[in-house]
Structure 1
Amino acid sequence: MRENTPPRAKEIEQADGELIEFEDDVPPDDEQELEEISMEELEERFGYTSDESEDDINDKPYGIPERDDAVLTFTKHKRAAFGCALHPSRPLAVTGGEDDRAYVFNVHTCELVYDVTGHKDTVTDVLFSHDGTYLATGDMAGDLYIHKLQENESGGPVTFRRVWEYQMGDMTWMLWHRASNVLLAGSESGEIYMWRIPAGDCKILPASGVRCNAADLAADGKKLFVGYSDGVVKLWDLKSGTVIMEVDEQNPMAHDSAVLCLTCDKESPLYASGSINGKILFCTNNGPVGAVETDGSVECIAFSPSNELKLVASGTLKGQIAIWDYGKYTLRTICDHVDVEGEESERYHGGITSLVWFNEHTLVASTIGGVVIAFDARSGARKFILEGHMAEIYAMKYSPQENILLTVSEDHRAKIFNVPPLGD
C-alpha cells in the first residue's frame, strides 16, 4: 500500500532518459507532402470528441454501483479522495483529495459549506481540532492551512476563515493534539514540526536522516510515538524535545523493514507499530516488550477501546484481519471477510486499508475492494457489510453521536452511511 498516498498508475519511462529507437520507425520523406489537419479533425479521427467535460471523463470509469448502502454521496471531488474527518459537535464533514481541494459539507444534506482552495498538491490530511474550533488541511508538498470556524450570530450557516498557513516541505502525516490547539506534522526528511495555533509558535524535533512515516500521541498527551522508514521507532518527549525510548537496529527485537503504521493505547503507556515485513512490535516507555508476526505488510493497527480486554487489531495488504491478545502476545482470532456466494463461489474483498473500533466488541475494516465490514471481535464473525464504493476506500471516520460513517475512495466519492445496530 501507500506511504502517504495510495498507489497510482505507474508512469512508463526509459531509464536514464535514454532515447529508444525502433526499426519500424520510418522518418518522413522531406519531399513528401504532409497532410494538414486541424486539432479538431485529429481529435475526431481518434474518437476524442464528445460533449463530456473533463470532469465527466474522470468520473466515467466508475459508473454507478450495483448496490449502494450509503444514504448520501458527496461528488465534488474530481480525482481520488484520500482524507476525511467529522466535526466533533456539528453535522459537518471534510474531505481532501488528489484534485488539490478540500471540501466541508453538511452530513445531513451534502450541501457544500466551505471550499478550501490554494493547495497545489494532493490534499492528504484534513482534521478538525479537538474542540472543532479549527480545521487543518495539509498537502503532500507541505502546504498547511488553518481555517477558523466562524459562528453566525443571526443563526445562519457557519463559515470558515483562513487564519494561518505554513510551508514545511514534503509532508508525510499531520495530527492535532487531543487536548490543546497544537498541530503536529512529520516530513519526508525526518523532522517533526509542532505549532501553537493560531499564534504559529514553532518547535522542531530534529531529523535522523530518514523519512518519518507515522506518529501517534501517547495516552498522557505528553509523548509522541514515531515510526521511520528504516524500521526505527522512537518515543519523543514533546516538552523537552528529547527521545526517551528508541528501538533501532542494535536491538534484537527491532523492525527490519519500514514502519508503515503505529498506534498508542489511550489508557496506558503501551505502543504498537507495524512494518512492511509483517512484524508488530509492542513497546512501553522502557522499550520493546513483545512482538507478533502477521501474513504480510501491516497497513493499520488499532487498540480496543477497552483496556480490560487487552486486544489490538491489525490489517494487512494481503487482507488478513487479526485480533491479538497483547497481554500474552498471541493470536485471539482471525476475522473472515470473504463473501460466500454459493457453495463453490467466493468473493475476496482485497487488502485492508483502515481499522476502527466502534465499541469494545465491534471492529470495522475498510478494504481495497471498496467495502466496509464490521466484525464481532470476540469471535471474528461478521456483523454487517456496507457497499457503495467502486474502488479502494482510503479512509473512514465514525461518529457515535450521529451514528454515521464517513468514507472516501479512489472513485472520487465520499459517502455517508447510517450504521446498523451494533448489538452488545
Structure 2
Amino acid sequence: MNFRRCQVMFRRNSFWSVQQQTESGWVSLVTEDSTSPYEPLSSSYRTRLQDLAEELEDVDFSEAGNAGNAGNADDDGWEAEDEMESEQDDSELTFSKHTGSVFCVSLDPVSNSLAVTGGEDDRAFVWSVSDGDVLFECTGHKDSVTCAAFSCDSKLVVSADMSGLIKVWKVENKEEIWSFEVGDLEWLEWHPCAPVLLAGAADGNVWMWKIPSGECKTFQGPSCQATSGKILPDGKRAIVGYEDGSLRLWDLKQGNAVYVIKGHDGHQGALTSIACNKEGTLALTGSVDGQAKLFNTSTGKVSRDTAEQDSNSVESVGFCNVLPLVAVAYLDGTLAIYDMNSQSLRHRCKHEVGVVHLQWEEASAVVYTCNLAGVVTLWDARSGVMMSEYRGHSAEILDFVLNRDASVAVTAGGDHQAKVFCLQRPDR
C-alpha cells in the first residue's frame, strides 16, 4: 500500500475514517467486520491507533523506499514536495507550546485578544493572540484536551479532556474555581449569556452546571453517545444529537424533551454537527450518513434533506447571517452552498482533501473552511469562487476560529502548532 496516498482522519466526536486516494478521488476503506467506515472508536481502539501512530513516527522508510521505489516517477521528489509545502507560511504568529496535536481553539468573545488551545499532550494554554505569550496553563488533565472555550463575558475559561475531567478557571487571577468528572466526554459548550456549561457524554447523558456553584441538572437520552449539541440563542432550549441518528430538543429549565426527531425524519447515523440561524428558528444538522437536515426548531418539522452524490460524511454545517444560505462541508472535500428559499444547491466548491470545519463571517456571505491539507480557504458563497488561501501548517488543521470582524483566524493543527493568520480581502 502506498503510504503517501492514504490518510487517517480523527474528529473531536470520536469518529474516524481511513481513506485511500484513487484516480476518482479519496475513497473510504472498510474493514471486513465493519458495517460503516465511521463507527465510534472505543477508548481501547483509540489507544491502539495512537500507539500505532507513535510506532510509525520511529520507522525509517528512506532505505526501503529507495530500494523498493527506484525508478517510480510518482514517488520521486517526495522530500522536495514536502519541503516546498512546509516552506510557505502565511501566518503572523506561531504558538508552539504544545507537544502533540492541537485539537481545539477558542477566542475570548469580549476582546478577541486571548486564545485558549487544548491538545493531545493533555495540556491547555491561555495565551495572547498578539505576541503568543502564555497567560497561564490549565493544568491537571489526564487525557487529551479536546474542548476549551471562554464564557460569554470572557471572565471564565473551561478546559475538558477525553476522560471527562472538566475544569473551569477564572481568567483574572488564573485560578481553578471548579472541576467535575463525567464519563468519556463528547462535546461541551458555554451558555450564550450566563455562566452555565452544557456537556454531552458517551453514556448518552447531557449535563448542565451553574458555575461556580456546581448546581447540576442531567438530561437522559437514549442508551448511546450524545455526539453533538447546540444551545439555541434564546438560552432556554438546546438541540442534542445522538449516535443512533436521533435528536432531541431539550427545555433546559423544565428538563424535558420537547420533541424527538428519529426514524425516517432523523439521521441514519451519528450526528456530527449542529448549527442554528441567529434567530434560533431554524436548525441544521449533519451526520456520518452523508445527509444534512434543515428543520423548524419550534415544531421539529424537517423541511429539507440534503445529500451530495457519493458523499460519505458531513463534517460541519453553518448558516449565513446576511443571505438565506447554508453551507455543508463533507469529508470527501465538497463544500456545498444551498439556497434556503429555493431549497436548491447553489454552488459546489471542491477541495482536494477532506474539509474539517467551516465558519461564516458574521456580516457577509463569505465562508471559511479548514482542511486535511493544513489550508484555510475563503469562499464567496454568492458566486462559489475561491477568494484566497492561507497556508503554514505542515499537517491537517483540526479546528479554527475567526475573530469578530473576520480580520484574524486562529488555527489548531496536527503539527503541534496553533497559528494566527491576518486575513486580507480585496473588497475591504
Letter in 1 for 2:108: H
Letter in 1 for 2:312: G
Contact map agreement 2:13 2:228 (CA 8 A) in 1: no
Structure 2 residue 416 is the aligned partner of structure 1 residue 412: yes
Contact map agreement 1:291 1:329 (CA 8 A) in 2: no
- The aligned counterpart of 1:188 is 202
| Cα root mean square deviation, aligned | 2.2
Count of aligned pairs:
353
State the distance in 1 between where 2:410 and 2:303 align: 35
Question: Are the structure 2 counterparts of residues 6 and 290 from structure 1 closer, same or farther at C-alpha, using a change threshold of 3 Å?
Answer: closer
Question: Are the structure 2 counterparts of residues 173 and 422 from structure 1 closer, same or farther at C-alpha, using a change threshold of 3 Å?
Answer: farther
Q: CA deviation at 1:207?
A: 2.9
Structure 2 residue 313 is the aligned partner of structure 1 residue 291: no
Q: Which among 4, 16, 19 is matched to residue 13 of structure 2?
A: 4
- The aligned counterpart of 2:161 is 139
State the distance in 1 between where 2:170 and 2:144 align: 22
1:138-157 matched pairs, under 5 angstroms = 138-150=160-172
1:211-290 matched pairs, under 5 angstroms = 211-249=225-263, 252-284=264-296, 285-287=298-300, 288-290=302-304
Question: Are the structure 2 counterparts of residues 255 and 402 from structure 1 closer, same or farther at C-alpha, using a change threshold of 3 Å?
Answer: closer
Question: Are the structure 2 counterparts of residues 267 and 422 from structure 1 closer, same or farther at C-alpha, using a change threshold of 3 Å?
Answer: farther
State the distance in 2 between where 1:292 and 1:406 align: 30
Q: Which among 358, 366, 377 is matched to residue 373 of structure 1?
A: 377
Contact map agreement 1:5 1:124 (CA 8 A) in 2: no
Q: CA deviation at 1:7?
A: 4.9
State the distance in 1 between where 2:145 and 2:405 align: 27
Contact map agreement 1:219 1:269 (CA 8 A) in 2: no
Structure 2 residue 355 is the aligned partner of structure 1 residue 352: yes
- The aligned counterpart of 2:317 is 301
State the distance in 2 between where 1:299 and 1:122 align: 21
- The aligned counterpart of 1:201 is 215
Q: CA deviation at 1:275?
A: 1.3
Structure 2 residue 49 is the aligned partner of structure 1 residue 65: no
Letter in 2 for 1:97: G
Q: Which among 90, 106, 119 is matched to residue 97 of structure 1?
A: 119
State the distance in 1 between where 2:406 and 2:427 align: 17
> Which structure dedicates a bigger proportion of its chain to helix?
2
State the distance in 1 between where 2:109 and 2:304 align: 35
Question: Are the structure 2 counterparts of residues 118 and 78 from structure 1 closer, same or farther at C-alpha, using a change threshold of 3 Å?
Answer: same
Contact map agreement 2:12 2:146 (CA 8 A) in 1: no
- The aligned counterpart of 2:70 is none
Letter in 2 for 1:133: K
Q: Which among 349, 357, 360 is matched to residue 335 of structure 1?
A: 349
- Cα shift readout 1:318-362 (whole Å, capped 9, x = no counterpart): 00000111233211111244xxxxxxxxxx2x1000001123211
- The aligned counterpart of 1:29 is none
Contact map agreement 1:408 1:414 (CA 8 A) in 2: yes
SS in 2 for 1:65: helix
- The aligned counterpart of 2:74 is none
Gaps of 5+ in 1: 10-14, 16-45, 48-61, 151-158, 338-347
- The aligned counterpart of 1:30 is none
TM-score of the two chains, using structure 1 as the length reference: 0.79
Kindly name which structure, 1 or 2, has the bigger radius of gyration based on alpha carbons: 1
Q: Which among 88, 92, 112 is matched to residue 109 of structure 2?
A: 88
